[in-house]
Amino acid sequence: MSRAYNFSPGPAMLPESVLLQARDTMLEYGDAGASIVEISHRGPEFIEIAAQAEADLRALLSIPAEYAVLFLPGGATTQQALLPLNFADPGQRADYVLTGHWGATATRQARPYVDLNVAASSEDDGYRSIPPVESWRLSDGAAYVHVTANETIHGVEFRPAAPGGHAFPDTGDVPLFADFSSSIASEPIDVSRFGAIYAGAQKNLGPVGIGVVIVRRDLLERAGQPRADIFDYRLQLAADSMLNTPPTWNWYVAGLTFRWMLEEGGVEEFARRSDEKAKLLYAAIDGSGGWYRNEVDPAVRSRMNVPFFLPDPALDAPFLAEAREAGLVGLKGHRVVGGMRASIYNPMPLAGVQALVDHMRDFQRRHG
Ligand SMILES: *Cc1c(COP(=O)(O)O)cnc(C)c1O
């Protein structure tokens, strides 16, 4: 089988041109005389790679100068544990808004360190909606408010730019922290609305093993809680995210991916493509006469992750097997939701979504 259209939620599809560059430099990086994975992070080649990656990410996301950018090992879950350590006093109140699985995961990472308040949750609704901001029970004096910009498993997304979409709240003096793991760089965002934005790279930014944290510099002056040096964002910033040996390969490939996104036209262009891809897929689901179902409130349906169900779970296995034959992989839904899920991040071309829609129509015709 040659390379298929990969709808995997993460680790996810990367642009072919990025993989080709990575393949070439795996053997020898420039005239370093060694592979990119064999050279020092303190050497001139890698220092240049790291600086370029930060500059490109800053350009891509229009990150203001008063925000620091950290490249840290591990995933988004790691940052979910580090945020309270760095920004909340021991036992201080922190507000969490739950719109799916990952928001709930974030509360489990933070609960040992803060007085955790679930300010709003759509759990009773099976995480198919976002509670209206007026109903959120935010605390006075909270260290921060935490939201998940896009819920990768449940397919629920804050859509500040969409007509009728759900905006991020104005939290006043309390900084807003957002997990952008699965939607970062898919549309323009106003970084200045947030105290901190974080993302694991493996959804929309590159390979797994590295995460990005974008944080307002003044927040780094907060005392936070007793923590080991290696968990201290301030010390990591002072060391250019190289307090210890960083995941150089992952950082390098993420940098190639940032560069690819810039060359393709940046976040405005990816917003346009994402809308086009999501519209095509949701139209196929909604136009199937109820055969395929997506149960998320249409106002907050994710542009990145589209869960959908067939009329009978017994059809799931044949749907996946025949999809694979048609060159479509990674469509099995997460076990907590079931059914199917198509993840359509920036590297997924419109032709891939068209091939999926064609498969869905064909399958329904034969099994419906
Ligand atoms: C995947 C994901 C996570 C967990 O990421 P890890 O890198 O596996 O820790 C957290 N939040 C969101 C929104 C995700 O999509």
Q: In this predicted model, which residue has the larger pLDDT, 160 or 327?
A: 327
**How far apart are the two ends of the chain, measured CA to CA in Å?**
28
β-pairing, 145-148 vs 328-329, is: unpaired
**Which tens digit of pLDDT belongs to each residue from 258-282?**
999 999 999 999 999 999 999 999 9
State the catalytic residue, choosing from 102, 232, 260, 332.
Answer: 102
Query: Are residues 343 and 213 located together in one domain of the fold?
Result: no
Query: Are residues 235 and 307 located together in one domain of the fold?
Result: no
Q: Judge if pTM exceeds 0.95.
A: yes
* Total domain count, the chain: 2
2 lies in a domain? no
Ligand 1: atom nearest CA of 149 is 13
Give CA–CA dist 166/156, Å, rounded: 10
**Integer CA distances (angstroms), 115 to 95, 106, 232, 298, in order:** 9, 14, 21, 34
For ligand 1, atom 8, which residue shows the shortest CA distance? 75
Please say if 277 is a catalytic residue.
Answer: no
State the catalytic residue, choosing from 56, 95, 179, 232.
Answer: 179
Structure tokens given for 202: 């493996």
Residue type, 91: G
Please say if 260 is a catalytic residue.
Answer: no
Asked if 154 and 128 touch (Cβ cutoff 8 Å), the reply is: yes
Give CA–CA dist 353/357, Å, rounded: 6
Question: What is the overall mean pLDDT for the chain?
Answer: 96
Beta bridge partners of 139: none
Please say if 102 is a catalytic residue.
Answer: yes
For ligand 1, atom 3, which residue shows the shortest CA distance? 76
Give CA–CA dist 134/367, Å, rounded: 45
Dist. CA 291 → ligand 1 center (Å):
30
Query: Are residues 183 and 111 located together in one domain of the fold?
Result: yes
| Structural domain for 68, as ranges | 17-263
Q: Which element (helix H / strand E) includes 67?
A: strand 67-73
Burial (CB count within 10 angstroms: exposed 0-12, middle 13-18, buried 19+), residue 16: exposed
User: Given ligand 1 and candidates 107, 182, 305, which is best to mutate, with the most ligand atoms within 8 Å of its CB?
Assistant: 182
**Which tens digit of pLDDT belongs to each residue from 133-168?**
999 999 999 999 999 999 999 999 998 877 777 889
Ligand 1: atom nearest CA of 80 is 10
For ligand 1, atom 10, which residue shows the shortest CA distance? 76
- Which CATH number belongs to the domain containing residue 332 in this structure? 3.90.1150.10
Q: Say what the pLDDT of residue 1 is.
A: 56
**Which tens digit of pLDDT belongs to each residue from 50-94?**
999 999 999 999 999 999 999 999 999 999 999 999 999 999 999
**Integer CA distances (angstroms), 316 to 143, 153, 154, 278, 296, in order:** 44, 17, 18, 21, 20
Give CA–CA dist 324/119, Å, rounded: 42
Query: Are residues 338 and 286 located together in one domain of the fold?
Result: yes
